[in-house]
Amino acid sequence: MANYCRNPTGRERPWCFVMDNHVQWEYCDIPICTDNDPPECKITQQAGEYIGRKNVSHSGFACKPWEGNWRTTIPGMGALFMPAFPDYKETKDTHNLCRNPNGDGAPWCFVENRTFKKEYCDISFCEIREIKIGSKGNVYPECRLTEKGKEYVGTKDVTVTGKPCLRWETKPYGMPWDFFNQEMGYSDHFINVDAVIHKNYCRNPALYREKPWCFVSDPDIKWEYCDIPFCHNLEPPECKLTPSGGEYVGRLNTTISGFPCQHWLAQFPNDHDSVRKSLSAFPDEVDGSHNFCRNPDAKGHGPWCFIRKSYDREVWEYCDVPFCPRTEGERCDIRVSGNCMSPLECKKDVRGSMYMGTKNVTKSGYPCQLWMSVSPNDISKLDDISYILLESFPDDLHPSHNFCRNPDVDSNGPWCWNGAGTDPEWEESVVEVIDALQPVPRIQPSSFVPSLGIYAMTMELLFSRGAKPVAVIAFFFTYLHNVISIDFVAHYVAHPGKRYENITFETKEASVRICGVRCVLQTPPCYALNYRESDGSCQLVFNGKSGLVEANGFTSYVQSESMTHSEQSDSLHRASTAK
């Protein structure tokens, strides 16, 4: 770490510790600046150093004076502001300037408002120095666009001294000190909120490292910087590389429907905590001028931003950020995991949950609304599963995607929201079935009890996401119609003390029951699942030979293929009470 002279304790001037047990510390010779006017900009993200004179919040509310609980008594100096104030010797009771004494994401102040009591201030970064353009062969993402390189998502996996990088998800030395908001889960600090996908590549999810880095196996060093060159073209690409687009650092600041984006540091019109929660996961630094589309919390389908205000909720919408073309001039309507596909224009069963064709009109001829748009039907008000969850669709959503799909397994098949803005709000489409349906077996009484476990979990998922009531019935009969006997129903028994390795898929879910739904909705259902309540991590395992490792806070559930009625009741009880 750095060893620069500082003054965190309110002494006469900057000082530092020295390697002398008799002296311990000494003052530094720091000259007084000739310009007495403090700069109205910040050097660091959190800007604890800011001593400017701004005294209004980002939305224009007057800052209230800092009250007595921000003061302390320093022996020989009397009652002053806490040393965390860069101007701690300020004694006026009217001190109401924007500051960051508690290590928040940026300078802030208290304001008089009915919905929020504090707000960040509009303070931009200082222009320090220009970045040297890289050589012609340096093309993003295998190079960095900024000094800190938070946006870097290339594949370099060795340090400047040639040491191999360790995998990020192993968390070899615990939570790094400069991961913002230590209350969030470890993976929440990474782009796309997932440490696993970054493997052992150089990254910079921290606030105070100068450039991309990684952990190394030497416990005395722990980490080292990587030699990541600057790109020849420093203009950020106006496209995304991944479905979630957490790496996007473009300059788009309007949504798909044309709404201007709210500044991330502003609390008006939407009062939110995205910066407080997800600052480390932003692919760039955030200042008062930042209102660009981003995806710091890995919302399912791409970069987004807050827009207009509603009286009872936050309002946001996705932005028109397409996938980056794999080849020059590539046009692609259907992608799966970023790869271009040429799908069939038909479905394999009545529900057509895997339909990936390009039909975009309903059975009555209404045009389909863009799935990522809140206009003309504001589907975000439903917290709809199709608007948020990446896994609800068989293919990747993109800004021009308005093709009929069945994300909630509606019994009538693929559908879409009515893009005409008239009644009905949504309607099914007509998609040809390629094979006639086979008659389904009659439901046996012995299979009814275990299927209720799946029904209960599905009910929780659908109602929590505000799905249409018919979707609940559709899920219920989907599973009942595929049950012949108790042996064919997936049951899951709690396995305390350990978790399963060989993770196939990982996401964030609000409860273990919703994680269970994720598991049973797969084809076939997953072999085991791990769930950690502290951060909502839901891990699905499909390898039946997967071994057990340390729990690391997870509770695991493994599939038991044949159980009696009493065993089923016992397992459901254990699963519901396991910690």
| pLDDT tens sequence across 522-541 | 767 788 888 888 888 888 88
Long-range contact pairs involving 127-136 (C-beta distance under 8 Å, separation at least 24): 127/41, 128/43, 131/230, 131/234, 132/230, 133/230, 133/231, 133/232, 133/234, 134/229, 134/230, 134/231, 134/232, 135/229, 135/232, 136/232
What is the pTM (predicted TM-score) of this model? 0.71
> Residue 574 — very low, low, confident or very high, per pLDDT cuts 50/70/90?
very low
Mean pLDDT of the chain: 81
User: Would you say residue 488 has pLDDT above 50?
Assistant: no
Determine the Cα–Cα distance for residues 379 and 376; give it in Å rounded to an integer: 9
pLDDT grade, residue 146 (50/70/90)? very high
Which of 413-422, 448-457, 473-482, 505-514 is modeled with the greatest confidence? 413-422
CA–CA gap between residue 526 and residue 251 (Å, rounded): 40
Average pLDDT over residues 219-239: 96
> Residue 58 — φ and ψ, nearest 5°?
-60, -35
Chain centroid to Cα 359, Å, comes to 31
Residue 553 has pLDDT above 70, yes or no: yes
What confidence category does residue 336 fall into, taking pLDDT thresholds of 50, 70 and 90? confident
82 and 74 Cβ atoms separated by less than 8 Å:
no
Start-end of CATH 2.40.20.10 domains in the chain:
33-128, 325-438
pLDDT for the residue 1? 55
CATH of domain 442-579: 3.50.4.10
pLDDT band of 498, cuts 50, 70, 90: confident
Residue 117: CB atoms within 10 Å: 11
In this prediction, residue 280 carries a pLDDT of: 95
| Residue 559 neighbours by CB under 8 Å, 6+ apart | 490, 491, 492, 525, 526, 527, 528
Domain 33-128 bears CATH identifier 2.40.20.10: yes
Contacting residues for 407 by C-beta, under 8 A, at least 6 apart: 385, 386, 389, 392, 393
Judged by average pLDDT, the poorest of 84-88, 536-540, 553-557 is 84-88
Let me know if domain 325-438 sits in CATH 2.40.20.10.
yes
What is the location of CATH 3.50.4.10 in the chain? 442-579
